């Protein structure tokens, strides 16, 4: 459905996204996880042809067999209107506060599908019903501030689905929602992907949401892919030290909590993500990795096959590809 080959993005301070290859098939649900600044959203924007003009993009991209590598903005706009859609993480910012939400969802149908206003309103009502918006007839005439956070997120999903996309990218769609509403949103996205045979790229810090929503997972750090594989397999037996750190940092009600001088604390990954210009040229995780070797900071590891997928780690190579990490 969509194929990225050696996609990379460079900024004034250096590489923001190193050569990355990725494929999504129709109906496939893939998750991307990693700390802020890991390149998750930048990778998604590359798929949408929405990277800032101030950045330099290289590599090849194909969407449903169409080569978009050197496509102009008009071609991308046409494709985004019909085959690619994105749901952003803050619905209050993404929706026009001065426009009724029904009109917002109807607009692309009128512009790109040739619907009349009456047809577009009827379709918007159908989309509101499909995405589980309560009292959909009344909601059509309401403004964003009159809706709850969960209802606003459903409006954004309805908007993204309006032109029947082949790929829906959901960028942190549950970050501003409480746990119960977030659960309903993830269930909704899975159902829509299955019913429409629509590829779903789910970007999140929430490992539980990614585990519930996706079939395959991509772990990113510092603009690089650290590990890939089936979601369940990686959640149960990660190979890369960074993936292990992310999973260990998850709060667990049933696990003992470390104690220092009588104060309870959760496990964490030491340090923080450096700015792009300070990232090591070898493994991006060097400097924070608990099993770092001498050449990790200077030599970039290749993605090699593991028992469950792939991992970019010199330790994997040292221990044998697919062996114990």
* DSSP letter string, 108-170: HHHHHH---HHHHHHHHHHHHHHTT-SSHHHHTT--GGGS-HHHHHHHHHHHHHTT--SEEEE
Q: Is 44 helix (H, G, I), strand (E, B) or coil?
A: helix
CATH code, 184: 3.40.50.300
Q: How far is CA 298 from CA 77, 154, 310, 325, in A?
A: 40, 45, 21, 20
Residue 266 lies in a domain: no
Q: How many angstroms separate the Cα of 233 from the Cα of each of 87, 99, 180, 274?
A: 27, 45, 26, 29
Reported as a single tens digit per residue, the pLDDT across 38-64 is 999 999 999 999 999 999 999 999 999
The listed range with the strongest mean pLDDT (69-83, 262-276, 309-323) is: 69-83
Count of the separate structural domains present in the chain: 1
Q: What is the mean pLDDT of residues 145-161?
A: 95
In a domain, 38, yes or no: yes
Q: How far apart are CA 292 and CA 296, in angstroms?
A: 6
- Contact by Cβ (8 Å): 231, 31: yes
pLDDT at 257 (0 to 100): 53
Instruction: Please check whether residue 63 lies inside any domain of the structure.
Output: yes
Task: Determine the Cα–Cα distance for residues 266 and 268; give it in Å rounded to an integer.
Answer: 6
Kindly provide the b/e burial profile for residues 221-243, where b requires at least 16 CB atoms within 10 angstroms of the residue's own CB: bbbbbbbbbebebbbeebbbbbb
Looking at residue 281, its pLDDT comes to 94
In a domain, 209, yes or no: yes
Residue 95 lies in a domain: yes
The predicted-structure confidence for 100-135, as pLDDT tens digits, reads as follows 999 999 999 999 999 999 999 999 999 999 999 999
- Alpha-carbon distance 215 to 233, whole Å? 10
Is 68 among the domain residues?
A: yes
With respect to residue 265, please indicate whether it lies within any of the assigned structural domains: no
Residues 6 or more apart whose Cβ sits within 8 Å of residue 281: 297, 298, 300
Within a domain: 114: yes
Confidence check: pLDDT of 323 > 50: no
Domain that residue 53 falls in: 2-221
Mean pLDDT of the chain: 91
Residue 64 CA to residue 25 CA, distance in Å, equals: 9
Residues with Cβ within 8 Å of residue 44, at least 6 apart in sequence: 32, 86, 169, 171, 201, 203
Tokens of 31: 């998750």
């Amino acid at each position: 459905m969509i194929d990225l080959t050696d996609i990379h993005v460079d900024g004034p301070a250096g590489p923001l996204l190193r050569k990355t290859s990725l494929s999504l098939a129709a109906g496939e649900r893939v998750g991307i996880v990693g700390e802020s600044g890991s390149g998750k959203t930048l990778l998604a924007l590359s798929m949408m042809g929405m990277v800032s003009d101030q950045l330099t993009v290289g590599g090849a991209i194909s969407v449903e067999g169409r080569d978009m590598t050197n496509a102009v903005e008009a071609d991308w706009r046409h494709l985004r209107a019909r085959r690619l859609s994105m749901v952003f993480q803050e619905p209050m910012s993404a929706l026009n506060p001065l426009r009724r939400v029904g009109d917002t969802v109807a607009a692309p149908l009128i512009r790109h599908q040739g619907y009349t206003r009456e047809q577009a309103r009827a379709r918007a009502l159908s989309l509101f019903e499909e995405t589980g918006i309560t009292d959909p007839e009344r909601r059509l005439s309401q403004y964003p501030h009159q809706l709850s956070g969960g209802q606003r997120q459903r409006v954004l999903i309805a908007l993204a689905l309006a032109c029947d996309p082949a790929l829906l990218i959901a960028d942190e769609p549950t970050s501003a929602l409480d746990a119960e509403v977030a659960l309903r949103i993830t269930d909704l996205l899975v159902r829509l992907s299955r019913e429409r045979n629509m590829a779903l790229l789910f970007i999140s810090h929430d490992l539980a949401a990614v585990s519930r929503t996706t079939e395959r997972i991509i772990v990113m750090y510092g603009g690089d892919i650290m590990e890939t594989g089936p979601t369940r397999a990686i959640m149960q037996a990660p190979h890369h030290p960074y993936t292990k750190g992310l999973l260990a940092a998850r709060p667990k009600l049933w696990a003992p909590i470390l104690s220092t001088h009588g104060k309870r604390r959760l496990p964490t990954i030491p340090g923080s993500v450096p700015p792009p210009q300070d990232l090591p040229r070898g493994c991006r995780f060097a400097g924070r990795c608990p099993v770092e070797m001498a050449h990790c900071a200077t030599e970039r590891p290749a993605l090699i096959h593991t028992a469950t997928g792939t991992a970019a780690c010199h330790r994997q190579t040292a221990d044998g590809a697919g062996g114990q990490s």
